[in-house]
Structure 1
Amino acid sequence: MTGIATYALSITTVEASLMVFVVVTAIVTALARDVLSSIIVFGAYSLGMAALYTFYRAPDVAMTEAAISAGVTTVLLLLTIAKTSRIEYDVSFESVDWSAAGAVSLLGAGLLTTMTDMPVVGSMESPVWANPEVTQHYIENTYAETGVENTVMAVLASYRGFDTFGEAVVVFGAGVAAMLVLHREVFT
């Protein structure tokens, strides 16, 4: 067996459940016409992604997703709604842009075809093991080269310092923009 059938056989029940949850919440977030409903479902989507990242053994990414996306972003969006006027929509599938939904479905189907190239979690064919010399170099020499004991923090702060600084600038800019929006009065 090759392709999607082989990958489907290697998926655990937990992994499949998380994937279905993430896809369903993403679709509901995109199709919801009520902004409050969309924000709440988006928060659930972010928590599902955090759980999926944890399952894939990336706890640092999972904590960031849970704290920033599910926590801070959801709170800022809810505060923004509280400070602005709310537009009521008639909730029905007649107002769905079916051409956009079809385009998203085609993109999703296209992405599913790429899953055949993904190695199973923990597999020796994983990209992490494609170049074990580099991985071993970071594990053995991180403290000597950077003075930082935690390898993950050394990579983020030293080896990828400019990238991490850029991400911090983006988060700061988003925070300033949110504060500007929240302090503005809305005239209704």
Structure 2
Amino acid sequence: MNPLLAVALVVVVGGAFVVAVLRDPLAATVAFGGYGLGMATLWAILRAPDVALTEAAVGAGITSALLLVAIARTGCATVPASFDWRPALAVAALVVALAATVPALPTGGEPIAPGAAGDVGRPAGFYLANAPELGVKNVVTAVLVVYRGFDTVGEVFVVFAAGLAALVVLGGREW
């Protein structure tokens, strides 16, 4: 395993655990921002730069900012210091479940992997060969808009919902 990947996985799992067990909303929000940056790094290491940029912008940036604004507007920056083990146990159970399934996955590029075997979608050569026929110069744009249009519409709805949430949190009375 790549040492950088191992460090990123430890940061992500540790960040999720810290967010789950912190009782102070402000500290949990800051830890959540760190978790989002860890996830963005993990996606970059896994060679998914589009997902990494989205995670950095939405997961670490916008979501953390909205949570900080919500905390500031509601005035609930502190919570009694009682420790609840239930979130920690839920995170531990999720980590155990994921750790049990990861070894069963084929390694990227193996002939038995569904994407390499052609069982999922179409091979990359199809998109590279047919994108110019669609009148789209950028192959990534052709895949996102033409071939994965339904998925892209779902992502647009998510961004729209995030924008509405930002308007609700930021709108209203003066600071």
Conserved in 2, the CA contact under 8 Å of 1:128 and 1:135?
no
Change (3 A) 1:64 1:134: same
Matches within 5 A, 1:70-149: 70-91=60-81, 94-96=82-84, 98-131=85-118, 134-144=123-133, 146-149=134-137
**Match for 1:68: what amino acid?**
V
Taking only the aligned residue pairs, the percentage that are identical comes to 43
TM-aligned CA deviation for residue 175 of structure 1: 1.5
Contiguous gaps of at least 5 residues in structure 2: none
Conserved in 2, the CA contact under 8 Å of 1:83 and 1:185?
no
* Aligned equivalents of 1:53, 1:128: Cα separation in 2: 18
* Aligned equivalents of 1:21, 1:141: Cα separation in 2: 40
Q: TM-score, normalised by structure 1?
A: 0.81
Conserved in 1, the CA contact under 8 Å of 2:33 and 2:61?
yes
Q: TM-score, normalised by structure 2?
A: 0.86
Task: Could you list the structure 1 runs, at least 4 aligned residues long, displaced by more than 4 angstroms after superposition.
Answer: 121-125
* Aligned equivalents of 1:41, 1:148: Cα separation in 2: 41
Give the paired residue count: 172
* Aligned equivalents of 1:102, 1:164: Cα separation in 2: 35
Conserved in 1, the CA contact under 8 Å of 2:17 and 2:88?
no
SS at match of 1:95: coil
Contiguous gaps of at least 5 residues in structure 1: 1-10
Matches within 5 A, 1:1-188: 11-91=1-81, 94-96=82-84, 98-131=85-118, 134-144=123-133, 146-185=134-173
* Aligned equivalents of 2:116, 2:166: Cα separation in 1: 41
Deviations for 1:51-96, whole angstroms, at most 9, x for unmatched residues?
A: 11111111111111111111111112212222221152233xx521
What root-mean-square deviation, in Å, do the aligned CA atoms of Structure 1 and Structure 2 show?
A: 2.2
